[in-house]
Structure 1
Amino acid sequence: MKLNMKLWFLLLAIAISTEEIQRESSCAERYAGIPGNPGHNGIPGRDGRDGTKGEKGDPGIKLLSTDGRVEEKGNKGTRGERGWPGKFGPTGMPGPVGDKGQKGDQGLQGRKGLKGDIGPVGPKGIKGETGGQGEIGLKGPMGPMGHIGPKGEIGAPGPKGNKGIQGERGWKGDRGDKGNQGGAPILPRSAFSVGLSTKFPPLNIPIKFDKVMYNGLNHYNTVTGVFTCQIAGVYYFTYHITVLAKNVRVALVKNGYRMLHTSDKYQGAEDQASGGIVLELKEGDQIWLEPYGGEMSNGLYADPDDDTVFSGFLLFSTSEIPAPTTLFRD
């Protein structure tokens, strides 16, 4: 059928060409007239798409060659250019909602996210019930001594008692015999004064002053370098030292605690330093003098012309036992 249609179109094209040739030859013998005015636009023709479908044509005739054989198939033509994309069609109606799919497998854990901002403060919770009393804990260390409080107000005087009845005055007694004359009281004594006969004594131990100026009651021990209190009271201690070749740091020590510090920076010649203090001692308290602060701070010096001396003596006793007295006879 396709071959028949092709043959028909070929014959039609030949007939149209022949008619055009005859028309041109007839018009060539005449002169061309004045062109007429252009005609009005015609009414658009009907769209042929609504026409009735034609009848099926007859099958085409097979073209045969002169020798009766079927002609070979012609070469395939070149592919035409791609046409412009067509217009988008209208949006379709949404389809129905599909069935719920099955739950998928749990995925891998994601990375830790950044820390979020602090949220608002929540409402105050309800006060809980009071718990039972816990066990008594261990006693803590003693805290530091507090400040001395303000002086209290003087209390109101108590009620005055009733005055008793005065008794009768007795008779004057006889004059007694004259007693013996009393003696002067014996005051407690304690004193010492000792010096150094060597230079640069050892550090951090009592200095052993072995040059005795006074130690009548032997309250200072020249072997240990320690004074031991025998009479409770208030004492005065003083020291005078010579410094040579090194700096000096000296402390007066009471029962292991440094009570007074003296230092001298060596200036290139013989220096002098001293110190003094008043202390209240109890019976058995110990006092000594010791150098400290490193080897370059031990410049205590003594020779026949330069002295380093340590002294102490009782100012007054604080003992409640009265001092004994010496009686003189007639």
Structure 2
Amino acid sequence: MFKHPEVFRMFNKYFCFQSFLNQCNLFLSRSLTSAMDSLRLLLQSLLILQVHFSKQLEDNQIPPSLCTGHPGIPGSPGVHGSPGQPGRDGRDGRDAAPGEKGEKGDKGGSGETGERGLTGDKGNPGEKGERGQHGECAVAPKSAFSAKLSQGLPLPLSVGDAVRFDTILLNEQGDYNAETGRFTCKVPGVYYFAVHATVYRASLQFDLMKNGHAEASYFQFYGSWPKPASLSGGSLLHLVPGDQVWVQMALSEYNGFYSSTKTDSTFSGFLVNSDWKNSAVFA
């Protein structure tokens, strides 16, 4: 009969209200004598009923005492309504099982160099290391020689000639050459050279030479004495490898070098200190 539920709901409200008015008219016709009092009570009842019925009618709950009719015919299905508004986002789903490990990506480029950090605290001393192996014993550099004139040395000598002290007394390193009368430096450092000459039959003057330059000169006058005289001199020289030192005649007439079984003329030299420091082992 009614196609829409809303129309059916309004019809029920109207029917119930009409039944209520009929009961009110019957009540009024029986109580005319106390119309005023009844009217007051009726108004109060109407207010109470209105509040009560309005709540029930809104909820579509009609009391059985007011509606005594037969149930209505079921309505036909309603028309499909318009699409509702989108619902809220659902809850997050459960975590799925871990996926397979992906392939290794390409190496990234080098980042910019960061600022230099602060200096850290001083660390604790490390443990004492093991004792090292015995090292080789260093041998100090050596250089020394001594030679004298032989008795058969031809005299006199010419100016500019090196005096050849041809009899070797000491020459372990081989730095002195008896054939030339010259000492050649191999170890750099300070050397001391000394000449002890026996002077006889003539005065004597000679120079201590270094690389062609006279470093010191010595002279002894001979005055026809019956016995030989002596002349000694020495000097400290700084040499480098390759330098040469020898004794050379200064004047041709002052060539009184003499040597015999009881007296000699010698030329000696030795290294005082080397310039080599913290060097390797020397032989």
With normalisation by structure 1, the TM-score equals 0.46
Q: Residue 192 of structure 1 corresponds to which residue in structure 2? A: 145
Q: Residue 183 of structure 2 corresponds to which residue in structure 1? A: 227
| Structure 2 residue 135 is matched with structure 1 residue 182 | yes
| Structure 2 residue 263 is matched with structure 1 residue 306 | yes
- Higher helix fraction (1 or 2): 2
How far apart in 2 are the matches of 1:323 and 1:200?
Answer: 46
Distance 1:312-1:188 versus aligned 2 partners, 3 A rule = same
Give 1:320 deviation, angstroms: 5.5
Distance 1:314-1:264 versus aligned 2 partners, 3 A rule = same
1:13-32 deviation digits (Å, cap 9, x = unpaired): xxxxxxxxxxxxxxxxxxxx
| Structure 2 residue 237 is matched with structure 1 residue 279 | yes
Give 1:291 deviation, angstroms: 1.5
1:67-125 deviation digits (Å, cap 9, x = unpaired): xxxxxxxxxxxxxxxxxxxxxxxxxxxxxxxxxxxxxxxxxxxxxxxxxxxxxxxxxxx
Q: Residue 218 of structure 2 corresponds to which residue in structure 1? A: 262
Residue 215 of structure 2: SS of its match in structure 1?
strand
- Percent identity reads 36
Q: How many residues align structurally? A: 162
Match of 1:289 among 243, 247, 259: 247
Q: Residue 316 of structure 1 corresponds to which residue in structure 2? A: 273
Any conservation in 2 of the 1:189–1:314 contact (CA below 8 Å)? yes
Q: Residue 170 of structure 2 corresponds to which residue in structure 1? A: 214
| Structure 2 residue 125 is matched with structure 1 residue 169 | no
Give 1:211 deviation, angstroms: 1.0
Q: Residue 252 of structure 1 corresponds to which residue in structure 2? A: 208
Residue 235 of structure 1: SS of its match in structure 2?
strand
Residue 192 of structure 2: SS of its match in structure 1?
strand
Structure 1 runs not aligned, ≥5 long: 1-163
Deviates further, 191-200 or 275-284:
191-200
Distance 1:292-1:320 versus aligned 2 partners, 3 A rule = same
Q: Residue 157 of structure 2 corresponds to which residue in structure 1? A: 202
Q: Residue 24 of structure 1 corresponds to which residue in structure 2? A: none
1:41-68 deviation digits (Å, cap 9, x = unpaired): xxxxxxxxxxxxxxxxxxxxxxxxxxxx
Distance 1:191-1:230 versus aligned 2 partners, 3 A rule = same
Any conservation in 1 of the 2:137–2:281 contact (CA below 8 Å)? no
Any conservation in 1 of the 2:157–2:249 contact (CA below 8 Å)? yes
How far apart in 2 are the matches of 1:299 and 1:188?
Answer: 36
RMSD across aligned C-alpha pairs, in angstroms?
Answer: 2.1
1:131-175 deviation digits (Å, cap 9, x = unpaired): xxxxxxxxxxxxxxxxxxxxxxxxxxxxxxxxx965223244333
How far apart in 1 are the matches of 2:186 and 2:276?
Answer: 11
- Aligned runs of 1:1-330 on 2, under 5 Å? 166-197=119-150, 198=153, 200=155, 202-203=157-158, 204-267=160-223, 268=225, 269-294=227-252, 296-319=253-276, 322-324=279-281
